[in-house]
Amino acid sequence: MRIIARFEKGEAVRFVSHLDIQRTFQRAFRRANIPLAYSQGFNPHPQLSFATALALGYTSEAEWFDVKLAEDMAPERFQEAVNAVLPTGFRILEAQAAEEKLPALTALMAASSHEVDFILPVSLSAESVISAFDAMAGGEIFVEKRTKGGMKTVDIRPMLLHYSFSQTADSLKLSVFGVSDAKGSLNIDLLLGALSDKIPGEFSYRVHKNTIYSLDGRVMPQKPVFAC
Amino acid sequence: MDFQLLDKILSSVEKPARYMGGELNMTEKKDAELRFALAFPDVYEIGMSHLGSRILYNVLNMREDTICERVYAPWPDMEKALRENDMPLFTLETKRVLKECDVIGFSLLYEMCYTNILTMLDLSGIPFRAAERGDDMPLIVCGGPCACNPEPLAPFADAFLLGDGEELISEFADAVLAAKRQGLSKQELLVILSKIEGIYVPSFYEPVYDDNGLFIRMERANDAVPEKISRRVLKDLEHAPYLGKPIVPYMSIVHDRIALELFRGCTRGCRFCQAGFIYRPIRERKRETVMEQARALIGCTGYDEVSLFSLSSGDYSEIHELVPEIIDEFEKKRVSISFPSLRIDSFLKDDLEKMQSVRKAGLTFAPEAGTQRLRDVINKGVSEEDLLRSAKDAFESGWNSVKLYFMIGLPTETEEDLLGIADLARKVSELFYSMPKEKRGKGLRLAVSASSFVPKPFTPFQWEPQDYKETLIEKQKFLRAALKGIRGVEFAYHAPDISVLEAVFARGDRRLADVMERAYQSGARFDSWDEHYKPEAWSEAFETVGIDPSQYANRRRVPGEALPWGHIDMLVTEDYLKLELKRAHAAKTTKDCRKGCNGCFGEKYADYCKI
Ligand code: SF4
């Protein structure tokens, strides 16, 4: 059977790399005695795939994996059994049985939302960050992107679907909706790097991924319509 | 700890998982009466692969009164980040700075990690020299195989723990705790420690040199401290604590699998091998115990590979029962099995075929020398026929990747022995290609690796000179030329500079501490890594301190002359080592002592060995 699950990557494990997460789940499945299905062939491996690779240092409540089991198992029981053995920082938040013919997760996803928490030096006001961002979003946003053929300059503005700032006395948060599909995703680090180039003084930030959306609401929540 | 700053630092360094902790099965303690920092002077992925310190982690954390936390040498990028941000080095578990620990215990696995000890102390604001550390500073202790010649580190450490640590570490912890409760001074504690079997307190001993700077004897501060400090032997391995619930790292480490220790010690007596002498006698675990441990460890870690981890696992008395049993029981869980040190004369084709049904890893053979004569000199009981037969079996079972390990610069080596290496490689290669295509794998990968011989204390070769660096380089070149044109061969060798430095420190005396400190100050770090090794830092340090490294590396010692490690008793007698040296020069082999005792412990410790 096929199970699709959403999990959280918390504070304690935000520096765990994508490759290491795959291993973490494989080991957790073995500890929990989950009957994994293995691929045929010379070097059999479990059929486990992830929707996206989260950038190092981010936290998230929208990580998704897709796994095949050799025997049927109630998704709730799967969730419970795996959560009982996962290391601190990882937790499955929902698990659902999926039909075999459902496309892969990467084919389903369409957009994602992130929340950015700014840590500003005293010399930098929240207002100046907001207005710089507004100005930047008013035109093209060129960034240097590493591709197979070397560094390339690309405009990432079309990937930015919507954004909004929220501000309190001691915090500045940005929520960003961006394209995230099989062809590519809005890179938050590059976006903020471009912002940083337009601002005097250095800021740092923390990123949390909130949601991955699908186009039609299958498996993941449906992508909202943005008027921007 | 400034967590926001830590965050910033971790975001900026390579592989932050090295410093972050929080792995599965990490101790959940936050604090305890005795704070023990288990320090490993190399990077996380190497330190976490070391079985001994993982056992000690379990033993110490089993105690309610103790918290044991890990700390590894920061990679140069992390060191830089810590310095730039004025942040001290911290433990992985609770992010405690080392100064706030009662004990810092360093594991000494390799001489070329020594400078990292200084980095770790430096980044913690702890003075290097024991004499400069007051009672407010943690106690610095060292253990592990390199502690058998403690002298080059003697000025830095308060004490050394010699031999098996399972029992000793607890007795040590008891003593430190008692002293803490009674409010004893460090000096008073050291006196108590010096009376525990297996603990060496270097400040109670003073080396004496002659006018030419040659070490002539060790003087004791008083009669209360033992003349000879003997290592500890864990007599009952069967009931000794093992790994408990071991930590499962997130990032991949060098030895990323479950280690099953079948036995400790080795009976073969290869004359260059320090481990073969300093871990005697051989002590086995029962097969049921090994299987029980395997079950428990797979269950609590989820690892998909176990490795049979002993000095020569193939010698395990029940190896032909154990391997199939492991395969049968764990195959359905898709757990595979590997041997880190396969002896070519001690496994059977059947076992090979079973192993293959699970996963095909590379095969490793270590003939060490190219001719039978030289193999007799070093007492490596492996013949060419054995090797070729095993290789044939392996090829027939579908293997096509083989590693051959050799050493160059061995005592009595000649050109003929080097040519013998190429000869052996050629025969293995021809064997592979002479087999019908359908019966063998596709292309052969024959890795021939030549390391440089480093004479080590407590081996029969402890008196032997090492080849000069220039000679080693010439021999490498010669061998490379001889290997040319052999199908499938890839040749790898070690940087001779580093082997020379290793030889200096392996048989060094206390004055080398000055050299080491000096080299550290000029930037020496991670000396075994080619990209970090700084030859100028070392040559300058030797010069400034006025020490000629070749006196240590290339001088032949006369059996009977005073040795800087002479006050350490690793149980195998000096008489036995002398006898073995003689036999070596006569190219006479000594039998594996599973077949009958050779008397290596002499009379004093005869009852330590139950063989
Ligand atoms: S005492 Fe005898 S049997 Fe025991 S390790 Fe030494 S030589 Fe071998």
**Nearest 10 degrees: Cα torsion A22, A26, A27, A28:** 100
B334 versus B29: the higher-pLDDT residue is: B29
Is B17 in Cβ contact with A16 (below 8 Å)? Answer: yes
Tens digit of pLDDT for each residue in A75-103? 999 999 999 999 999 999 999 999 999 99
Residues of B in contact with A44 (CB under 8 A): 334
B29 assigned to some structural domain? yes
- The rounded distance, in Å, linking the Cα atoms of B503 and B552 is 7
Cβ atoms of B271 and B461 within 8 Å: the answer is yes
B128 falls within a domain: yes
Residue of A nearest to B11 (CA): A57
Across the range A102-115, mean pLDDT stands at 95
Query: Does residue B110 lie within any of the structural domains?
Result: yes
Tell how far CA A4 is from the center of its chain: 15
Total Cβ atoms within 10 A of residue B533: 18
Is position B390 within any domain? no
Q: Would B215 be classed as within a structural domain?
A: yes
- B22–chain A nearest CA distance, Å: 7
Domains of chain A: 2-102 (3.30.70.580), 107-214 (3.30.2350.10)
Rounded to two decimals, the pTM is: 0.93
Among candidates B8, B11, B301 on the partner chain, residue whose Cβ is nearest the Cβ of A27: B301
- A15 and B20 in contact by Cβ < 8 A? yes
Q: Taking the CB of residue B235, how many other CB atoms lie within 10 A of it?
A: 15
CA distance A120 to chain B (A): 13
| Cα A176 from chain centre | 12
Q: Does B214 touch chain A (CB under 8 A)?
A: no
- For residue B542, is it within any domain? no
Q: Which residues line ligand 1 (CB under 6 A)?
A: B 267, 280-281, 593, 597-601, 609, 611
Do the chains contact at B334 and A38, CB–CB below 8 Å? yes
CATH number of the structural domain spanning residue B212 = 3.40.50.280
Q: How far apart are CA B44 and CA A20, in angstroms?
A: 15
Rounded Cα distance between B162 and B101, Å, is 22
B573-587 in b/e form (b: 16+ CB < 10 A) is: bbebbebbbebbeee
Q: What is the DSSP letter of A168?
A: E
Per the structure, how many domains does chain B have?
Answer: 1
Print the domain residue range for B122.
Answer: 3-230
Contact state of A20 with B252 under an 8 Å Cβ cutoff:
yes
Closest atom of ligand 1 to B598 CA is: 7
Inform me whether the pLDDT recorded for B564 exceeds 80. Answer: yes
Decide if B165 is inside a domain: yes
CA distances from B225 to B126, B172, B195, B200 (A): 27, 17, 7, 9
Chain A, window 35-74: residues with a beta carbon less than 8 angstroms from a chain B beta carbon: 38, 44, 56-57
Model confidence pLDDT, tens digit, residues A51-70: 999 999 999 999 999 999 99
Of A31, A87, A88, the CB nearest to B299: A31
Mean pLDDT of chain B: 93
Q: Are B341 and B313 in contact (CB under 8 A)?
A: yes
Give ipTM to 2 decimals.
0.88
Partner residues linked to A172 by β-bridges: A118, A167
Pick the residue whose CA is nearest to atom 3 on ligand 1.
B597
Greatest extent of chain B over all pairs of C-alpha atoms, in Å: 76
pLDDT digits (tens, 9 = 90+) for A150-195: 899 999 999 999 999 999 988 999 999 999 998 999 999 999 999 9
Looking at residue A147, what is its pLDDT? 80
Q: Answer whether B250 touches A (CB < 8 Å).
A: yes
**pLDDT score, position B344:** 45
Whether B519 maps to a domain, the answer reads no
The predicted model gives B449-471 an average pLDDT of 97
Q: Which residues of B touch A204 (CB under 8 A)?
A: 8, 11
**Inter-chain touch B301–A24, beta carbons under 8 Å:** no
Question: Worst-scoring range by mean pLDDT, A43-47, A128-132, B30-34, B396-400?
Answer: B396-400
